Amino acid sequence: MGQIVCIANQKGGVGKTTTAVNLAAALAAQKRSVLLVDLDPQGNATMGSGVDKHDLEISSCDVLLGEVQFTDAVTQAPEAGYDVLPANGDLTAAEVGLMNATLKEKRLSLALSGAKERYDFIIIDCPPSLNMLTLNALVAADGVLIPLQCEYYALEGLSALVGTIKQIQGSRNANLRIEGIVRTMHDPRNNLTNEVSAQLIKHFNDRVYRTIIPRNVRVAEAPSHGLPVLLYDKASRGAVAYMALASEFIRRTSANA
């Protein structure tokens, strides 16, 4: 049985979508079957996988609203070796539509009920806010992977997210766990970065992944080409780091299975 892991952080600009896309690609490169679910109305994970969000006939919006099965909406990332449940701005309408829907926070969980039999990993890219879409992801997921940039407000935002996860555990998804925390856009020359990193390890211990994603221009360039960094420049520091992250991710999720 596969595992569903959502990439979540209510703070924007922390490398959430970048991590979702590149982790999916790195897992696929390590011969795992992967579905990347784009749950962000910006559709950046969709575009970063080489799928045109402006050209979608069916998207995750239709799946959440119960109009189609997830298998009808899934497409293939052209070069990256994983499947994508794509998204675009229509998801904003889905969020509004879900507010008064029955089982509104369980729509994604119900839609993906057969996905675990088809894929080793289902990676969900969440929007940068704790809204109905993120709630659906947390209810559907087995674990939460939290990308975090080591800066001044990071720990404060992280404590709020951990509190939300505990609420979900208590009321809607008792099996939800924090899969881990990944330090992203890391610059070891920055003293504040190192201080926050040390605080993170002090508070969260082995939940902090050993793999660190460096600040890397090739990682930043890759989405504009519709490619994960592994395909854009596999020798770059960013690509090497995401391959290492995938290996650590596989080890950790196997231990939790």
Q: Mean pLDDT lowest for which of 12-21, 128-137, 187-196?
A: 187-196
CATH assignment of the domain containing 139: 3.40.50.300
The pLDDT score that the predictor gives to residue 257 is: 66
What distance in Å separates the CA atoms of residue 31 and residue 20, rounded to the nearest whole number?
Answer: 17
What distance in Å separates the CA atoms of residue 207 and residue 158, rounded to the nearest whole number?
Answer: 13
> Which tens digits make up the pLDDT trace of 126-160?
998 888 999 999 999 999 999 998 887 777 778 88
Q: Which residues form the domain of 70?
A: 3-256
Q: Where are the beta strands (DSSP E) in the chain?
A: 3-7, 34-38, 75-76, 83-85, 121-125, 143-149, 177-186, 208-214
> Which tens digits make up the pLDDT trace of 67-112?
999 999 999 998 999 999 999 999 998 888 888 888 899 999 999 9
What distance in Å separates the CA atoms of residue 110 and residue 104, rounded to the nearest whole number?
Answer: 10
> Which tens digits make up the pLDDT trace of 38-67?
999 999 999 999 999 999 999 999 999 999
What distance in Å separates the CA atoms of residue 176 and residue 145, rounded to the nearest whole number?
Answer: 11
The pLDDT score that the predictor gives to residue 206 is: 92
Q: What is the pTM of this model?
A: 0.95
Number of structural domains in the chain: 1
Q: Is 250 exposed, middle or buried (0-12, 13-18, 19+ CB in 10 A)?
A: middle
Backbone Cα Rg of the chain: 17
The pLDDT score that the predictor gives to residue 195 is: 85
What distance in Å separates the CA atoms of residue 246 and residue 121, rounded to the nearest whole number?
Answer: 11
> Contact at 8 Å (CB) between 8 and 134?
yes
193 or 90: which leads in pLDDT: 90
- pLDDT of residue 189 exceeding 90: no
The pLDDT score that the predictor gives to residue 208 is: 95
